[in-house]
Amino acid sequence: MSSPQREWFEKDYYAVLGVAETADQKDITKAYRKLARQLHPDANPDDPVAEERFKEVSSAYEVVGDPEKRQQYDEVRRMGPVGANGFGGFGPGGFGGAGGARFEASDLSDLIGNLFTRGRQGGGGPQAASTGPRRGTDIEATLTMTFDDAARGATTTVNVVSDVRCPDCFGSGAAVGTAPLVCPDCNGTGAVAEDQGFFSFSSPCPRCGGRGRIIESPCPTCSGLGSVRRPRQVKVRIPQGVRDGQRIRVKGRGGAGANGGPDGDLYVRVQVEPHPMFGRDGDNLTLTVPVTYPEAALGADVTVPTLSEEPVTIRVPAGTRSGRTFRVRGKGVATPKSTGDLLVTIEIDVPTEVNDEERAALEALAAARTAPSPRSHLEA
């Protein structure tokens, strides 16, 4: 059994998951999965509030989603709430009644934690480092992609360093040719009963450290831990339309689990290199296209590039001002859910140098102009 954390006294995990304290395990799992889908970082990129809520929901489910931990949690909560003045629930004076000893939250957490974990220190060696199946750690890697690859999606590999199952003992922790033995003190349960006054607790078996087994001949490669730290390559499928800074979850490719626990997850954070021509606004592509003054004044058909390498032609009507944006439907970034548009912004190209013939033409145009000055509204 794991020792209770201080948060157990302070947080209502049932409220976090939106279920009643009497809910069965099936309803708790159903509520967790629903919230996890809504709050997962992959569904809410760059949303720190959703990410923090996702962690809170995951922490709650890690406790009440495990029948053994849930039983501990319920027992601890029935002892009474932890308030600003100490531990209450046994009378107006807190723990022990009026005038009795009072405990701050940190003191009480340590006290109860010691009751749950008493005896663990007696089990030396690598087998005492854990108390039952434990999920592997989540790891994170960074992947740099070109703008085009991010838009189209790609399958690639990332380099990570993490715990992996020992290649010699295959995670058992026992030397080749041997096997772990069932602990005779706890009969393989990993826990022994212990009475503590008003309460009866199950604490980790001191002989096997809560694992339920004893390794008499530890594997020399992993020293009996069942895992070693190694560099490795992980294949990752990046979906089309991934955004800069988005995290992609690769389930089960994180650190190795311990004592039969599941492996952790790998989170790949994508960094997208800028494109020399295109920008991105959500799922829309942005593009600035220069046109000449005659094209803007008289109108013209202008060919513009797209990410698909199939150019499109847009009609620039006569009298188009610099800065006007035209929308080309369906030529933006395609994602698994939708496709954006191409937003083309016109920019009138003003020459910095003109030859004699061009100068004469521009002077003739200025002389022929009969429209009011464009600055007439500024005149007093």
For residue 214, what pLDDT is reported?
87
- Residue 355 domain flag: yes
Per the domain annotation, does 298 fall within a domain? yes
Span of 38-52, 160-174, 280-294 with lowest mean pLDDT = 38-52
Question: Picking from 143-157, 249-263, 343-357, which range would have the lowest pLDDT averaged per residue?
Answer: 249-263
Answer whether residue 194 is part of any domain.
no
The fraction of the chain above a pLDDT of 70, given in percent, is: 81
Question: Is the residue at 235 inside a domain?
Answer: no
Residue of 137, 135, 141, 138 lying closest to 160 (CA atoms)? 141
Statement: residue 126 has pLDDT above 60: no
Which residues constitute the domain of residue 298?
A: 279-372
How many domains are contained in the chain?
A: 1
What is the spatial distance between Cα 214 and Cα 182, in angstroms, rounded to a whole number? 6
Q: Residue 353 above 80 pLDDT?
A: yes
Domain assignment present for residue 284? The answer is yes
Please check whether residue 352 lies inside any domain of the structure: yes
Task: Grade residue 324 by pLDDT with cuts at 50, 70 and 90.
Answer: very high
Cα–Cα distances (Å) from 190 to 30, 123, 131, 204, 206, in that order, read 29, 12, 7, 6, 9
| Average pLDDT of every residue of the chain | 81
What confidence score (pLDDT) does residue 195 get? 64
pLDDT at residue 121 is higher than 90: no
Q: Is the per-residue pLDDT at 108 higher than 80?
A: no
CATH code (residue 368) = 2.60.260.20
With a CB cutoff of 8 Å and minimum separation 6, the contacts of 88 are 80, 81, 82, 94, 95
Q: Is residue 286 part of a domain?
A: yes
In terms of pTM, does the model score above 0.75?
A: no
Which DSSP state fits 377?
A: G
Left, alpha or beta for 63 (phi > 0: left; psi -120 to 50: alpha)?
alpha
Could you give the percent of the chain with pLDDT greater than 90? 36
11-23 pLDDT tens trace: 889 998 999 988 8
pLDDT confidence bin for 204, thresholds 50/70/90? confident
Burial of 169 (0-12, 13-18, 19+ CB in 10 A): buried
Considering the domain boundaries, does residue 340 fall inside one?
yes
Contact status, residue 21 vs residue 64, Cβ threshold 8 Å: no
- For residue range 56-86, what is the model confidence (pLDDT) as tens digits? 888 889 888 888 888 888 887 776 544 333 3
